[in-house]
Every structure is written in C-alpha cells, then in structure tokens.
C-alpha cells in the first residue's frame, strides 16, 4: 500500500518529505519519478494533476486534495470514481478570513485613496461611513464564507450570505439559490466571492451581475472581492465595470488564467488590489497532518470527512 503525491506545483517534494517525516511507516512516493508500480498506489495526494493521470492507478481508494477547492480534480473527465476529500482546516479558514476582512476594511476605509494621497503628499480628508451603513454580501456561504461573515458582522457590517441552501447564522441574512440572487445583489455594497468553480458558477461574476449591484450605497458604488476561484469571474467584464464605474474597485486574488498574464491591464489599474492566489496559502504541516489523520482512520474502517459531492462538484 503506497501513498502517491501528485503535486503539480513548485514545492512538491517538501510535501512528500514532510509526510515521510511524520509517518515513517508509510510508503510515500512522489510522482512522477518515484511512482513505481501503479498497482501499489492506494491513496493519492493531489494538486492539479494532468487529466487522465489518476486513472492509471487500478487500486486507488481515496484522493486527497491539498486544497479546499477541488476544481483542479473535477475538470478531469477520467477522474476515478473514488471519494475525493477536500481540506477543511481552521488554519486555512482563519487565513481566508484575514484576507477578506482586510480587503473589506481597505475599501470601506478608502485605503487605496489615502495611499495615492500619501504618494502625492496630499492632506485631504474624505467622509467615512460607519460599518453599520455598509452592506457586505458573501457569495459562497460555506466553511470560509461563514467564518468571514461572522467576523464582519461583529465589526458592525450588515452581512448577508448567498448559498445553495439556506443558512441560520445570528445577525446574518441568508439568501439561497438562483431565485434569491437578485435580492442579495440588490442589497450589497461590497460583494465577496468565495464560490467554488463548478459548471453552475462558471463566469457568473460578469457584466450582467455587476449591473445588479446598487450605485447608491454608503460607499457610493460597489466593490468586488474575489478570493474563491478565477474562473468564476470574467476578467474582461471586471475591467469594463471598473472603467465605466459599475464597480468602484476590486480586490482580486484569483484570475481566469493563472498566473495572470504580465500584459493584463488589471496589474496597473488604480481600482484593483491584486494578489497572486495567496489569500489562504495552506500550511503544509497542518494539511499533511489532516490527510494523515483521515488516512489512518480510513485504514481502521472509519468514515472519511469532507468528502466532495461529485454531482455538485464541490
């Protein structure tokens, strides 16, 4: 029985070395060079494997994603029909909450404007609405969205969440499904997306959706924060909306194609705060431990947790 790390990323060997240190009894292998006999592989730990790769292991029982998102796996038409476990980890959740709260405050407190003024040695005050006057709407009100929402609520913002199913969280309005999307958008000054990328959410952050955000809120125009997945947005529509004033600003951690092309106008747009998909960079130690716990439990016959619903794709 072997565990194969199939990690299409810069520091793949750090992850497999760390697992070897933590579990010397396990046969840990690193794809592609150490794969060995495909029949030995019972578990795969994956990040963005080439489509078709995971179908090569006939005795595979579980796929562990090293991320919370699993679109990197679901896009594979030949993905084996075994459970896919995603990451749900307090460390990752808190890092995302930091990113979301920081960016909500950055737009609410006009830090972009004051940055520009500092560069110009300009002492100019601007009016500042109270948090209680600002409506934050979180699309994708799951593990990450809910944690961010609770902290923003406690800071005094008017928070709502939009998800597939209705949620009950004190002091937070819940909108559910397609039929309640317009109502959710119509009460949102700062739109935060923490949606997974699935066929249903593909490019849904587009011109038609931005046009439904109110222009007459306390911030005098809407802001977008996307830290979920880039393929949920249209980069071109965001740019158009920023240029024609439909959006007043945007914080973008994710993009349709990553890395973002060096020539993209988003890099230098004054309304954009841009980071390279680092909103919640996971701790390899925490995630290796999480995977190891689940793997050991599975070996003892226990149920896996945080198994992806293959039909929904997240």
What residues are annotated to the active site?
229, 277
Residue 49 contacts by C-beta under 8 Å, 6 or more apart in sequence? 6, 8, 31, 72, 73, 76
Of all residues in this chain, which one has the CB nearest to ligand OXD in the complex?
A: 67
Compare residues 174 and 240 and give the one whose CB is closer to ligand NDP: 174
Note whether 284 binds ligand OXD by CB under 6 A.
no
Note whether 141 binds ligand NDP by CB under 6 A.
yes
Compare residues 40 and 202 and give the one whose CB is closer to ligand NDP: 202
Dihedral angle of Cα 257, 262, 265, 271, to the nearest 10 degrees? 90
Note whether 227 binds ligand NDP by CB under 6 A.
yes
- Among 217, 228, 249, 271, which residue interacts with ligand NDP (rule: CB under 6 A)? 228
- Among 7, 44, 84, 194, which residue interacts with ligand NDP (rule: CB under 6 A)? 194
- Among 68, 190, 252, 266, which residue interacts with ligand NDP (rule: CB under 6 A)? 68
Note whether 190 binds ligand NDP by CB under 6 A.
no
Task: Spell out, one character per residue from 196 to 225, where the chain touches ligand NDP: x when CB under 6 A holds, - when not.
Answer: x-x-xx------------------------
Note whether 314 binds ligand NDP by CB under 6 A.
yes
CB of residue 55 vs ligand NDP: minimum separation in angstroms?
23
Task: Judge contact between 124 and 278, C-beta under 8 A.
Answer: no
- Of the candidate spans 27-35, 62-70, 177-185, 297-305, the one that interacts with ligand OXD by CB under 6 A turns out to be 62-70
Note whether 49 binds ligand OXD by CB under 6 A.
no
- Among 174, 240, 282, 283, which residue interacts with ligand OXD (rule: CB under 6 A)? 282
- 157-162: long-range pairs with CB below 8 Å, 24+: 157/104, 157/108, 157/131, 157/132, 157/190, 158/132, 158/133, 158/134, 158/187, 159/135, 160/135, 160/136, 160/184, 160/187, 160/188, 161/137, 162/137, 162/138
Compare residues 69 and 249 and give the one whose CB is closer to ligand OXD: 69
CA 118 to chain CA mean position, Å = 32
Task: Spell out, one character per residue from 25 to 64, where the chain touches ligand NDP: x when CB under 6 A holds, - when not.
Answer: ----------------------------------------
- Among 17, 20, 67, 91, which residue interacts with ligand OXD (rule: CB under 6 A)? 67
Q: For residue 180, count CB atoms less than 10 angstroms from its CB and return exposed for 0-12, middle for 13-18, buried for 19 or more.
A: middle
CB of residue 12 vs ligand OXD: minimum separation in angstroms?
15
Token pair for 233: 């947005």
299, 33, 22, 23: which is closest to 5 by C-alpha?
33
Note whether 69 binds ligand OXD by CB under 6 A.
yes
* Number of neighbouring beta carbons within 10 Å of residue 231: 21
Residue 12 contacts by C-beta under 8 Å, 6 or more apart in sequence? 5, 30
Residue 20 sits at φ, ψ, to 5 deg, of -60, -40
Query: Sign of dihedral through CA atoms 61, 144, 254, 201?
Result: positive
Task: Judge contact between 148 and 96, C-beta under 8 A.
Answer: yes
Residue 132 sits at φ, ψ, to 5 deg, of -65, -15
- Interface positions with ligand NDP (CB under 6 A): 67-69, 92, 96, 140-145, 163-165, 194-196, 198, 200-201, 227-229, 253-254, 277, 279-280, 314
Give contact residues for ligand OXD (rule: CB under 6 A): 67-69, 87, 280, 282
């Amino acid at each position: 029985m072997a565990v194969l790390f199939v990690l299409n990323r810069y520091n793949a060997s750090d992850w497999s070395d760390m697992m070897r240190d933590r579990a010397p009894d396990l046969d840990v292998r690193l794809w592609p060079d150490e794969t060995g006999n495909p029949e030995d592989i019972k578990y795969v730990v994956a990040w963005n494997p080439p489509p078709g790769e995971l179908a090569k292991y006939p005795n595979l029982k579980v796929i562990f994603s090293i991320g919370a998102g699993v679109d990197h796996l679901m896009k594979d038409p030949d993905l084996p029909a075994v459970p896919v476990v995603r990451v749900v980890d307090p460390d990752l959740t808190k890092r995302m909450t930091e990113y979301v709260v920081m960016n909500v405050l950055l737009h609410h407190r006009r830090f972009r404007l004051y940055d520009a003024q500092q560069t110009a040695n300009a002492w100019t005050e601007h009016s500042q609405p109270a948090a209680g006057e600002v409506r934050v709407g979180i699309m994708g009100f799951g593990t990450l969205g809910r944690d961010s929402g609770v902290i923003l609520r406690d800071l005094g913002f008017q928070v709502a969440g939009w998800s597939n199913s209705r949620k009950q969280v004190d002091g937070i309005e819940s909108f559910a499904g397609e039929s309640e999307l317009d109502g959710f958008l119509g009460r949102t000054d700062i739109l935060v997306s923490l949606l997974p990328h699935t066929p249903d959410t593909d490019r849904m952050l587009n011109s038609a959706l931005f046009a439904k955000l109110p222009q007459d809120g306390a911030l005098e125009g809407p802001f977008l924060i996307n830290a979920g997945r880039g393929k949920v947005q249209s980069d071109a529509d965001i740019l158009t909306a920023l240029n024609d004033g439909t959006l007043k600003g945007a914080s973008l951690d994710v993009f349709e194609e990553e890395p973002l092309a060096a020539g993209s106008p988003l890099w230098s747009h004054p309304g954009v705060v841009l980071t390279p998909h680092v909103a919640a960079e996971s701790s390899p130690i925490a995630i290796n431990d999480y995977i190891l716990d689940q793997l050991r439990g599975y070996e003892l016959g226990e149920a896996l947790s945080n198994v992806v619903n293959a039909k929904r794709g997240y």
